[in-house]
């Protein structure tokens, strides 16, 4: 297969949760090196789309297509999708008591790159670099994954994972929620640093403020399970200014 | 911890299992193997072969009377308890005539068995003394010279009785009398082997001592007896491990362990119980902690068909501390009925119980606990935490906690939780590229981490590997 310009393509994706359709035909085409943002009010189906694409067992994709780097995403389970280079930054990261951050990350790196000595050596160095980048203390490595973490720490850990795993396609689900402005800047720096020139990023967010620091190439507005408007970065500013109501007419 | 976790590519790829690793058995080339069954003649024979003093022989005969008279417990797993055929058990097997002081003194086939279990290697690397019991007798024993010179005594129990009768007579059965329960009575009648340890005042035994218990014969009964005395201000860490071959019929392991921690001393007793799934493990373990002394039971139960064991601490001196940290892993057709008991009988005493259980494949884990605080034990602290993890819907967990608090100003914390491996946690980990098996193992290893972090590193690695083996085939 030729290395196409598109890294992530979804076509007419429909998603059901507990028998209810929450995503009603969404298509996206993300080219290498691009960052896209999906904005929209609560309950518009943004997170459902993200979870379904990552392979969450409670979200079933009932129809549509999804390709990552030319490979059919929908034929793979969650593990396979991750190994194919997909990464989901969780809106509500889960606690894994008793498992240290270092152990967790090492396990994930091993799953992806094998457990060779060279891989592990690189991992250790890499991890320390990323700690610096995200301004987290060394003690982070020995804390249990998300156990007793503040909201901001959880989001930093998500981006720390992204920066260590270097996914070809990252979907970041409301990574900006719950962050103060300093933390937002740090997390944004992490995202910009980790975004691959040959990969893509899909930012899911309520608010425009993240997009001041992570500049999107395209902005899409999702309402009621559908993308109702797409445009350049200026669309985000317009939403910040005018809210979502003006789009309701279009959506109906 | 993860170093061993992903040595193999997921749980399903793990080829070896208990049968190959631990469940093999040796041919029986024994010095003495008596007939099955239990009566006063058997007790007399054991005592005579051991050339015991009269008081011990009398103690045994009285204990047998108590055993015969006592009814079976009416709690725990009564179905299995009532199915025990006491006439179909070998009560005493002496594999070799003379105990080995070096591994070369031990018959080749027995040495090979302990080699396969990794004992000589562990001895070289990180132990100050080793006692290896095979059937009824300790067949190999070693102990570092410099500790001997400092007056530390580490012997098998029979040698302890012979060489230090005055200490043994003073403490033996002093905290677990023969009439304590039916299985303590049984042990008292037919006990053989086990460890005897005395640490003189102020001596810190910095490196652990270990005993390893191996059952080889089918329908064997192993009844070791352990007595540890830490004199004032001394410190000791003792570790025991156990395995057996897999047979289709049950064998019985019924030990009695007594710990005496005198003023200001510290005893830690660590167990990694990995019996084959045909062993009934019915053990009585109890300790007393005097003024400002500390006793810790670190108790891991992975194997056996049925385990009933509740390590106990009597806090009898002011400022004494007790800790019981246990995990139980109940797989298919296993019942781990484990727990803890702490009795606060002096002021300013503190105790902490942490119990973790994992059930899978229809296995059953029970926590049975008792905390009693007597009126004079004012200003004491009690903390109990029970955590159960269910791997599937067919498994079972029960909790039977009892608290009797009769003192004023007692601070009590109590938590009990039952959880399932959550789909959301699995998704989080699989979304990072781990397989479901790897994800489940990581969650389980995290769950028991409060336990494994208390083990010497080598044992923590071994424990995680055991759990990995037990988890084999649990998925899909």
Using the beta-carbon criterion (under 8 Å), do A107 and B445 form an inter-chain contact?
Answer: no
Judging contacts by C-beta atoms under 8 Å, the chain B residues touching residue A96 are: 425, 428-429, 442-443, 446
- B78 to each of B274, B312, B404, how far by Cα in Å? 22, 22, 25
Of residues A57, A77, A93, nearest to B428 (C-beta): A93
CA dist B420 and B412 (Å) reads 27
pLDDT confidence of residue B14: 27
pLDDT confidence of residue B90: 96
CA dist A67 and A29 (Å) reads 10
Tell me the pLDDT tens digit for each residue of A148-177.
Answer: 999 999 999 999 999 999 999 999 999 998
Judging contacts by C-beta atoms under 8 Å, the chain A residues touching residue B2 are: 103, 106-107, 110
A200-205 and A169-173 strand pairing: parallel
**pLDDT of B475 strictly over 60:** no
CA dist B336 and B470 (Å) reads 14
- In a domain, residue A234? The reply is yes
**What ranges do the domains of chain B cover?**
1-22+422-476, 23-421
| Cβ pair B255, B187 in contact under 8 A | yes
Domains in chain A, number: 1
What lies within 8 Å, CB to CB, of A237 at 6+ separation is A208
Interface test with B, best of A53, A98, A102, A163 (most B CBs within 10 A): A98
**pLDDT of B363 strictly over 90:** yes
Of residues B422, B427, B449, nearest to A78 (C-beta): B427
DSSP SS3 for B475: coil
CA dist A161 and A96 (Å) reads 15
Give the closest residue to B432 by CA, choosing from A139, A99, A217: A99
DSSP 8-state assignment for residue B127: -
Number of neighbours of residue A192 by Cβ within 10 angstroms: 13
- Taking the CA of residue A215 and the nearest CA in chain B, the distance in Å comes to 26
- In a domain, residue A31? The reply is yes
- In a domain, residue A140? The reply is no
Range of the domain at A228: 6-92+167-251
CA dist A236 and A110 (Å) reads 38
| Cβ pair A202, A38 in contact under 8 A | yes
Interface test with A, best of B2, B430, B432 (most A CBs within 10 A): B432
Nearest CA in chain B to A101: B446
For B406, phi then psi, to 5°, come to: -115, 5
- In a domain, residue A110? The reply is no
**pLDDT of B205 strictly over 70:** yes
**pLDDT of B207 strictly over 70:** yes
Model confidence, pTM: 0.86
Residues of B with CB under 8 A from a CB of A: 1-2, 5-7, 422-425, 427-436, 438, 442-443, 445-450
**pLDDT of B336 strictly over 50:** yes
- Taking the CA of residue A105 and the nearest CA in chain B, the distance in Å comes to 9
| Residue A79: band (very low, low, confident or very high) from pLDDT cuts 50, 70, 90 | very high
**pLDDT of B4 strictly over 80:** no
The ipTM estimated for the assembled molecules is 0.95
**pLDDT of B13 strictly over 60:** no
Q: How many beta-carbon pairs under 8 angstroms link A with B? A: 87
Counted residue by residue, chain A has a size of 252
**pLDDT of A2 strictly over 90:** no
For residue B383, how many C-alpha atoms fall within 13 Å in the half-sphere facing its CB? 9
pLDDT confidence of residue B262: 98
**pLDDT of B168 strictly over 90:** yes
Nearest CA in chain A to B1: A103
Give the closest residue to B266 by CA, choosing from B226, B244, B297: B297
Nearest CA in chain B to A143: B446
Nearest CA in chain B to A59: B427
One DSSP character per residue, B138-203 reads EEEEEE-HHHHHTT-EEEEHHHHHHH-HHHHHHHTTSSS-GGG-HHHHHHHHH----EEEEE-TT-
Interface test with A, best of B428, B435, B454, B475 (most A CBs within 10 A): B428
Using the beta-carbon criterion (under 8 Å), do A96 and B6 form an inter-chain contact?
Answer: no
**pLDDT of B344 strictly over 90:** yes
Using the beta-carbon criterion (under 8 Å), do A79 and B430 form an inter-chain contact?
Answer: yes
Using the beta-carbon criterion (under 8 Å), do A99 and B431 form an inter-chain contact?
Answer: no
CA dist B275 and B252 (Å) reads 10
Judging contacts by C-beta atoms under 8 Å, the chain B residues touching residue A78 are: 427, 430-431
Tell me the pLDDT tens digit for each residue of B226-273.
Answer: 999 999 999 999 999 999 998 889 999 999 999 999 999 999 999 999
Judging contacts by C-beta atoms under 8 Å, the chain A residues touching residue B422 are: 94
pLDDT confidence of residue B11: 31
Residue B418, classified by CB atoms within 10 Å of its CB into exposed (0-12), middle (13-18) or buried (19+), is middle
Please state, for a pLDDT cut of 70, what percent of chain A lies above it: 97
Of residues A54, A96, A106, nearest to B431 (C-beta): A54
Interface test with A, best of B356, B433, B440 (most A CBs within 10 A): B433
Can you tell me the mean pLDDT for B97-105?
Answer: 92
Using the beta-carbon criterion (under 8 Å), do A107 and B442 form an inter-chain contact?
Answer: yes
Can you tell me the mean pLDDT for B438-445?
Answer: 91
- Taking the CA of residue A106 and the nearest CA in chain B, the distance in Å comes to 8
Using the beta-carbon criterion (under 8 Å), do B445 and A112 form an inter-chain contact?
Answer: no
Of residues B7, B431, B449, nearest to A98 (C-beta): B449
If you compute the radius of gyration of chain B from its CA atoms, what whole number of angstroms results?
Answer: 22
- Taking the CA of residue B308 and the nearest CA in chain A, the distance in Å comes to 27
**pLDDT of B473 strictly over 80:** no
Of residues B431, B434, B447, nearest to A107 (C-beta): B434
Residues of A with CB under 8 A from a CB of B: 54-58, 77-79, 81-83, 87-88, 90, 93-94, 96-99, 103-104, 106-108, 110-112, 115, 144-145, 161, 165
Nearest CA in chain B to A53: B431
CATH assignment of the domain containing A39: 3.40.50.300
Using the beta-carbon criterion (under 8 Å), do B435 and A94 form an inter-chain contact?
Answer: no
Judging contacts by C-beta atoms under 8 Å, the chain B residues touching residue A107 are: 2, 5-6, 432, 434, 438, 442
Can you tell me the mean pLDDT for B161-184?
Answer: 97
CA B95 to chain centre: 23
Q: Mean pLDDT: which of A63-67, B15-19, B96-100, B472-476 is highest?
A: A63-67
């Amino acid at each position: 297969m030729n290395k196409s310009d598109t890294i992530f393509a979804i076509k007419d994706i429909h998603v059901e949760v507990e028998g209810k359709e929450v995503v009603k035909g969404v298509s996206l085409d993300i080219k290498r090196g691009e960052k896209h943002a999906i904005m929209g009010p609560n309950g518009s189906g943004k997170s459902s789309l993200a979870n379904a694409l990552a392979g969450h067992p409670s979200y079933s994709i009932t129809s549509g297509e999804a390709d990552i780097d030319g490979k059919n995403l929908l034929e793979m389970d969650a593990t396979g999708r991750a190994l194919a280079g997909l990464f989901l930054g969780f809106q509500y990261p889960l606690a894994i008591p008793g498992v240290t951050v270092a152990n967790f990350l090492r396990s994930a790196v091993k799953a992806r790159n094998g457990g060779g000595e060279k891989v592990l050596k690189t991992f250790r160095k890499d991890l320390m670099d990323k700690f610096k980048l995200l301004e987290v203390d060394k003690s982070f490595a020995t804390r249990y994954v998300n156990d007793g973490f503040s909201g901001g720490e959880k989001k930093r850990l998500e981006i720390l994972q992204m920066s260590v795993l270097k996914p070809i396609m990252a979907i970041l689900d409301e990574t900006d929620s719950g962050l103060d402005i300093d933390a937002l800047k740090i997390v944004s720096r992490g995202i910009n640093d980790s975004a691959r020139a040959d990969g893509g990023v899909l930012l899911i967010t309520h608010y425009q403020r993240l997009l001041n620091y992570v500049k999107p190439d395209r902005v899409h507005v999702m309402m009621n399970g559908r993308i109702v408007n797409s445009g350049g970065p200026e669309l985000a500013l317009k939403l910040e200014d005018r809210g979502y109501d003006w789009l309701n007419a279009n959506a109906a | 911890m993860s170093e061993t976790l992903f040595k193999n590519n997921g749980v399903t790829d793990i080829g070896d299992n208990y049968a190959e690793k631990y469940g093999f058995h040796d041919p029986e080339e024994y010095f003495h193997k008596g007939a099955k069954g239990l009566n006063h003649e058997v007790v007399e024979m054991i005592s005579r072969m051991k050339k015991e003093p009269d008081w011990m022989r009398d103690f045994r005969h009285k204990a047998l009377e108590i055993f015969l008279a006592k009814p079976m417990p009416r709690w725990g797993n009564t179905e299995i308890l009532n199915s025990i055929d006491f006439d179909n058990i070998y009560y005493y097997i002496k594999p070799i005539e003379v105990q080995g002081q070096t591994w070369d003194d031990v018959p080749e086939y027995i040495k090979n068995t302990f080699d396969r279990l990794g004992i000589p290697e562990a001895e070289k690397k990180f132990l100050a003394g080793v006692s290896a019991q095979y059937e009824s007798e300790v067949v190999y024993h070693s102990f570092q010279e410099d500790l001997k010179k400092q007056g530390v005594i580490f012997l098998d129990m029979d040698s302890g009785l012979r060489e230090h009768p005055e200490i043994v007579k003073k403490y033996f059965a002093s905290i677990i009398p023969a009439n304590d329960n039916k299985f303590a009575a049984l042990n008292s009648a037919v006990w053989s082997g086990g460890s005897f340890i005395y640490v003189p005042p102020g001596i810190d035994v910095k490196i652990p001592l270990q005993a390893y218990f191996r059952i080889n014969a089918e329908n064997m009964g192993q009844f070791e007896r352990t007595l540890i005395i830490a004199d004032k201000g001394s410190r000791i860490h003792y570790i025991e491990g156990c395995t057996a071959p897999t047979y289709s019929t049950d064998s019985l392991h019924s030990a009695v362990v007594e710990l005496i921690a005198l003023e200001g001393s510290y005893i830690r007793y660590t167990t990694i119980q990995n019996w084959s799934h045909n062993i009934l493990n019915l053990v009585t373990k109890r300790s007393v902690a005097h003024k400002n002394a500390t006793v810790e039971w670190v108790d891991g139960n992975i194997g056996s068909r049925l385990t009933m064991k509740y390590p106990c601490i009597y806090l009898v001196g002011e400022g004494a501390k007790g800790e019981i940290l246990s995990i139980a892993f109940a797989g298919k057709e296993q019942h781990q009925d484990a727990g803890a008991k702490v009795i606060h009988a002096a002021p300013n005493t503190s105790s902490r119980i942490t119990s973790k259980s994992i059930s899978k494949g229809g296995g059953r884990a029970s926590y049975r606990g008792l905390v009693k605080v007597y009126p004079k034990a004012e200003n004491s602290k009690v903390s109990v935490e029970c955590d159960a993890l269910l791997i599937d819907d067919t498994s079972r967990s029960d909790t039977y906690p009892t608290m009797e608090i009769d003192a004023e100003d007692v601070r009590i914390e109590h938590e009990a939780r039952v959880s399932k491996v959550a789909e959301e946690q699995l998704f989080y980990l699989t979304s990072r590229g781990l397989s479901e098996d790897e994800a489940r193992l990581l969650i389980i290893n995290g769950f028991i981490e409060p336990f494994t972090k208390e083990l010497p590193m080598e044992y923590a690695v071994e424990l995680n590997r055991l759990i990995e083996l037990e988890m084999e085939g649990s998925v899909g």
